Structure formats: C-alpha cells, structure tokens
C-alpha cells in the first residue's frame, strides 16, 4: 500500500503541543500523507464540509467506535489488499458523524471500543498507518 494515496480529514484543530509533536513525527515518517483540518461546527455542517473536502477518487473510511476493530497486522493487510485505491480517513467532531455520511463510507474503522479525543485519535491513526507500512515492509518497528 502506498500511503501517499491516503489522507486524513479531521474535524478540529490540535491544541495540545505534545500531541502536535507526535503528529509531526509520524507525518515526517510518512511522506506524501496529508492531513486536512476542517472547522468544528454542527454534525450536519461538518458532514457537508467532509463531503466537499473529499476528492472524487477517494474512498471514505470513517473512524468511529462502532466500526470494525482490527489488529495492526490485519489493518496492514487490509490496506495492502486495497492496493492503489485512494483513501480518506475521516475523524469526526465531538458530536459524531451523520447517518448519511456513515452510509456512504467504504469502511468504518474503530481504533478501539473506547472513545478518544479527536486529537489523540489522529495521533493513534498516524501511528497505526506508520506501523502498517512497517509491517508490510518487514521493518523491525512492529514486534508481534
């Protein structure tokens, strides 16, 4: 999987410096991966902003606690199986995502059955994307 074909669309800004430092670290390790930040608003306005931010060739992957949980190895394999498809991983705002947006998703992914602040979810997703790349490349970063 070429992670330059992936993008993160996230509602809200990262305000905690230590989280931003972690995000910057993983973005340096994942050249070509980008993050698009959208303004906090109502669920419906956020959904509309997400739809407008999506590129026509991107498949929508929503991060939500009701989504499918995967091991890191299964996540890496799923990304690999998607091959050259462009993916937009979406991290919604505090009030969640609309039913319409959920219905249009190619994939609903859960990082954990627990709920995380959107800032931490962004950092965790970046780390898992980096880990997936390491797994697929046979790097020693992932020790199972």
Q: Is 113 left (phi over 0), alpha (psi -120 to 50) or beta?
A: alpha
Q: What is the dihedral of CA 8, 103, 131, 121, to 10 degrees?
A: 60
Q: Return the pLDDT at 69.
A: 95
In-domain check, residue 28: yes
Question: Distance between CA 96 and CA 77 in Å, rounded?
Answer: 27
In-domain check, residue 19: yes
In-domain check, residue 25: yes
> What would the pLDDT profile of 13-40 be if each residue is shown by its tens digit?
999 999 999 999 999 999 999 999 999 9
Q: Return the pLDDT at 1.
A: 64
Range of the domain at 40: 3-52+69-97+116-137
Q: Return the pLDDT at 143.
A: 76
Q: For residue 75, give the CATH number of its domain.
A: 3.40.1280.10
In-domain check, residue 9: yes
Identify the DSSP state of 5: G
In-domain check, residue 104: no
> What would the pLDDT profile of 65-82 be if each residue is shown by its tens digit?
889 999 999 999 999 998
Q: Return the pLDDT at 65.
A: 86
In-domain check, residue 57: no
Tally of structural domains, the chain: 1
Strand-pair partners of 130:
none
In-domain check, residue 110: no
97: enclosing H helix or E strand: none
> What would the pLDDT profile of 51-63 be if each residue is shown by its tens digit?
999 999 999 999 9
């Amino acid at each position: 999987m070429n992670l330059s074909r992936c993008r993160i669309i996230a509602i809200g800004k990262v305000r905690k410096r230590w989280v931003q430092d972690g995000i910057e670290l993983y973005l340096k390790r994942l050249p070509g991966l980008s993050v698009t930040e959208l303004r906090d608003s109502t669920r419906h306005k956020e959904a509309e902003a997400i739809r407008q931010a999506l590129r026509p060739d991107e498949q929508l992957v929503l991060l939500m606690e009701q989504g499918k949980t995967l091991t890191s190895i299964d996540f890496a394999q799923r990304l690999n199986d998607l091959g050259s498809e462009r993916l937009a991983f979406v991290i919604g705002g505090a009030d969640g995502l609309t039913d319409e947006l959920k219905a249009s998703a190619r994939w609903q992914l859960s990082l954990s059955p627990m709920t995380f602040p959107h800032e931490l979810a962004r950092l965790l997703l970046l780390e898992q994307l980096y880990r997936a790349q390491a797994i697929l490349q046979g790097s020693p970063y992932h020790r199972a």
